[in-house]
Amino acid sequence: MVLDAMIADCRNKELCQHWRMRRAKKNIDFYNGEFDLYWNRELEQEHKPYRTSMFMKCVIDGISNLYKFTPNRVVENSADATKWYQKVMKVNHMAAKMLKAEKLAAISDFAAFCISGTDDVENPIKITLWSADSLCLHFDPNDATQVVGVIACDKVNGKDRKTLWTAERVQVYLCGDEKEAQFLLVKDEVNPYGVLPWVFVSHNSQVLDFFAGSPGTHLRKANDYINSRLTKMGQACKFQMEPLGVASNVEPTFKLGKVRPGDFVNLPANASDVGGDKDARFEYVAAPSFVNDAWTDLVNYVDHTMQSNGIPGSATEMLGGVARTGISIVMEQWPLVSASRAKQPQWKEYEHNLAKVIFTVANNWLIFNGVEDYPMLGEIATNLDLSVTYNETFVAEAPGAERDRSNEFEVTFGLKSKFQVYQERTGASREQAVAHFMQVLEDNFELAELEKQYGAQSDDASGDGIGTGGEGGSGDSGDILAIEEGQEEDVEDVGD
């Protein structure tokens, strides 16, 4: 039943979720600053928005902090599995992809990872990130949160392509050009992975419905309104800077003509000179300015939009002007930290689902290709126990004494290692942190050896200066001292 509906979806030009996919595409375009495609020229009375704002991008980037630093992933009771899994994540650049997935989930409700096999036995897994505007999902009739089929839409060689995925089959449909009414089946084969190789991440917990919502659509509409108001304020400023000139009490045939800076202008004679009753007068006519009122209204609307979506103001504010540390920064950034902590249980579940699918796909893919050297992958997938520890994205990352004290406290009480502190401060990977401290130890050891050598040379040089004479010297200084002491004794004896 589900497969039949998916096949019908693939053959038709329009997908059953085309409205949601278009909305997601529009949200993503606004996040990327692609505003011209959606500008209403007739309504706005401008060819394009010549004043725009990246408000949506600023807010989304500000609230996406969970993967600002790469978390530590450990497969419990298996060091080999941990090493293998961390290698897969590193090879697939998952540090960047997880952060992007977090942002895409906030923009368009959800994002997805497709796990596929490769021909490289050493790196058998490829992980691809997909956005919501390219995916049509089909669900279990008895569970609105359980995805049982995926239709992925993309282009290949200039042709639209739809790839149908279920746990049992994979089908590919191609459309020759936009004039063709239907897509044609070009490939139909058994799914070699044995499972649906897709993992989904959402901005909100998918408890009652898969599409649990996100602030993306509200932020996009706010960004659209901001662009419109900024453009209108720009028009108002333009009209204020170029007012209309009006000449009163002049001859109907009078014309000022084109005037450039530095030119002289011949004005009509005064009324007393020509026998008139009123002098000629020149003035500007300009509409009253409401730019300040419009700006105040815009700022209030932006604040309301953020508050109604539960987004703290600190998500878009940057520390500047006055250097501040301590409790003031903590209180300002605390709502973001609390939101990041609140998302951790939800995203740990996503991490577990991702790891389980990766181990399962790798195991089934290698068996499918006749490689049986990795029997542990299937066992790990069945009894997976993944531990994910997120690095605290807190105010301590701001440089200064506050961060130094915080890091010292964490290291002293075993909350963090020096490796972790170095990673947070520099954004380095664990391997880079280990290499850095190894280099520091080698440098310190080499410096200590140099200091020993230099100290020994200094001692030798000092001994040579006291114990021996140079060229033309008078021999051992010790003998000279003894002779001098003896001479003094002789003088004393003579005196007696």
Helix 216-241 and helix 55-63, axial crossing angle in degrees, nearest 10: 140
> For 441-471, what is each residue's pLDDT tens digit?
999 999 999 988 888 777 777 665 544 444 4
Whether residue 123 is predicted with pLDDT greater than 80 in this model: the reply is: yes
**How large a percentage of the chain has pLDDT more than 90?**
37
> For 385-439, what is each residue's pLDDT tens digit?
999 988 765 544 566 677 788 888 889 998 889 988 888 788 787 888 999 999 9
Whether residue 494 is predicted with pLDDT greater than 60 in this model: the reply is: no
Contact 193, 366 (CB under 8 A): no
Q: What is the pLDDT of residue 235?
A: 78
Contact 207, 177 (CB under 8 A): no
Confidence bin at 178 (pLDDT 50/70/90): low
Of all residues in the chain, what percent are helix, strand and coil, respectively (each to 5)? 50, 15, 35
Whether residue 375 is predicted with pLDDT greater than 80 in this model: the reply is: no
Q: Which of 32-41, 59-68, 78-87, 457-466 has the lowest mean pLDDT?
A: 457-466
Identify the residue whose tokens are 């007739």.
42
Question: Where exactly are the structural domains of the chain?
Answer: 2-216+339-393, 444-495
Q: What is the mean pLDDT of residues 46-67?
A: 84
Pairing verdict, β 143-156 and 159-165: antiparallel
Radius of gyration of the chain (CA): 38
DSSP state of 192: T
Helices first, then strands: H and E counts in the chain: 15, 12
Whether residue 332 is predicted with pLDDT greater than 70 in this model: the reply is: no
Torsion region of 152: left, alpha or beta (phi above 0 gives left; psi -120 to 50 gives alpha): beta
Q: What is the pLDDT of residue 395?
A: 47
CB atoms within 10 A of CB 186: 11
Whether residue 475 is predicted with pLDDT greater than 90 in this model: the reply is: no
Q: What is the mean pLDDT of residues 113-120?
A: 93
Largest CA distance in the chain: 139
Whether residue 155 is predicted with pLDDT greater than 50 in this model: the reply is: yes
Q: What is the pLDDT of residue 220?
A: 94
**What is the DSSP annotation of 281-307?**
EEEEE-PPP-HHHHHHHHHHHHHHHHH
> For 188-219, what is each residue's pLDDT tens digit?
999 999 999 999 999 998 888 899 889 999 99
Q: Which of 42-56, 195-209, 346-360 has the lowest mean pLDDT?
A: 42-56
Pairing verdict, β 143-156 and 386-389: unpaired
Identify the residue whose tokens are 């973001």.
336
Whether residue 32 is predicted with pLDDT greater than 90 in this model: the reply is: yes
Structure-token pair, residue 191: 């799914």
Confidence bin at 82 (pLDDT 50/70/90): very high
Q: What are the φ and ψ backbone dihedral angles of 361, each rounded to 5 degrees? A: -65, -40
CA distances from 179 to 22, 176, 449 (A): 20, 8, 78
Return the C-alpha torsion angle 455, 461, 467, 471, nearest 10: 170
Chain centre distance of CA 270: 69
User: What's the whole-number average pLDDT of the chain?
Assistant: 82
